A = this chain, B = another copy of it.
Amino acid sequence: MELSLFNILDILGTMAFAISGALAAMDRKLDLFGIFIIAFVTAIGGGTIRDALMGNTPVAWMENAAYVYLIGAVTIFAIIFRNKINYLKTSLFLFDTIGLGVFTITGVETGVSNNLDPIISIAIGAMTGTFGGVVRDILCNEIPVIFRREIYATACIVGGLAFVILHKLGVNTDIIYIVTSLTVIAIRLLVVKYKISLPSYHLLQNN
């Protein structure tokens, strides 16, 4: 099986969200399987709601056990290296941002390749990118990420808009994937970095 760039991004997003879920669950002192379940739900949440609402059922992870094994492996990795991962302090934030960027773009792509209206495709992208993190935070009794004034949604929508425009201009698909994923990630990172000296205590509290 040959992996397309789309598949690689999907795998990368799954891993990043699985790690962010595992970190959040460890933070809550869940047991082993509890950590796995939160990692799983965070990693597959966005794609699952996208598939369910579009009628692509059974949803992706049900037809490909590789997702479950991948998430299991990543979760074990996160548990073993939790001290090293946490050393970065902002790691949950970083992995969440990577997952957001990548999944937003795979969501937009799904809409575009199903010939849906551009604005619908952007909405599907925003939903795919944010849903896993929202569910993770609701299950962990956190204020959902979407609420932490970090331009979370804005990053998604700008990235989705860039995708739709570049696609209309006929730019090579692989280049679109990379540019727009990085756009979402860069916007969020820059905004948070820029805010560091200001009201960022709000952010640190929750991560």
Q: Which residues of A contact B (CB under 8 A)?
A: 28-34, 36-37, 40, 48, 51-55, 57-59, 61-63, 65, 68-69, 111, 114, 116-117, 119-120, 123-124, 126, 130, 134, 138-141, 143-144, 146-147, 149, 151-154, 156-157
Contact B53 A55 (CB under 8 A): no
* Residues in B whose Cβ lies below 8 Å from that of A149: 29-31, 34
**Which residue of B68, B117, B153 is within 8 Å of A31 (Cβ)?**
B153
A58–B40 Cα gap in the complex (Å)?
25
- In the complex, the chain B residue whose C-beta lies closest to that of A155 is B33
A48–B50 Cα gap in the complex (Å)?
12
Copies in the complex: 3
Give, as a whole number of angstroms, the nearest-CB distance from A160 to chain B. Answer: 11
A157–B75 Cα gap in the complex (Å)?
16
- In the complex, the chain B residue whose C-beta lies closest to that of A30 is B147
* Residues in B whose Cβ lies below 8 Å from that of A57: 52-55, 57
Contact A37 B147 (CB under 8 A): no
* Residues in B whose Cβ lies below 8 Å from that of A59: 53-54
* Residues in B whose Cβ lies below 8 Å from that of A51: 53
Contact A62 B53 (CB under 8 A): yes
Interface CB pairs A-B, < 8 A, 19: A30-B146, A30-B147, A33-B153, A33-B154, A33-B156, A34-B149, A34-B154, A37-B126, A48-B53, A52-B57, A53-B59, A54-B58, A54-B59, A54-B62, A58-B114, A61-B120, A62-B124, A68-B123, A141-B147
Give, as a whole number of angstroms, the nearest-CB distance from A43 to chain B. Answer: 12
- In the complex, the chain B residue whose C-beta lies closest to that of A118 is B65
A163–B171 Cα gap in the complex (Å)?
50
**Which residue of B63, B124, B140, B146 is within 8 Å of A37 (Cβ)?**
B146
Give, as a whole number of angstroms, the nearest-CB distance from A154 to chain B. Answer: 4
**Which residue of B48, B65, B126 is within 8 Å of A119 (Cβ)?**
B65
**Which residue of B53, B69, B147 is within 8 Å of A34 (Cβ)?**
B147
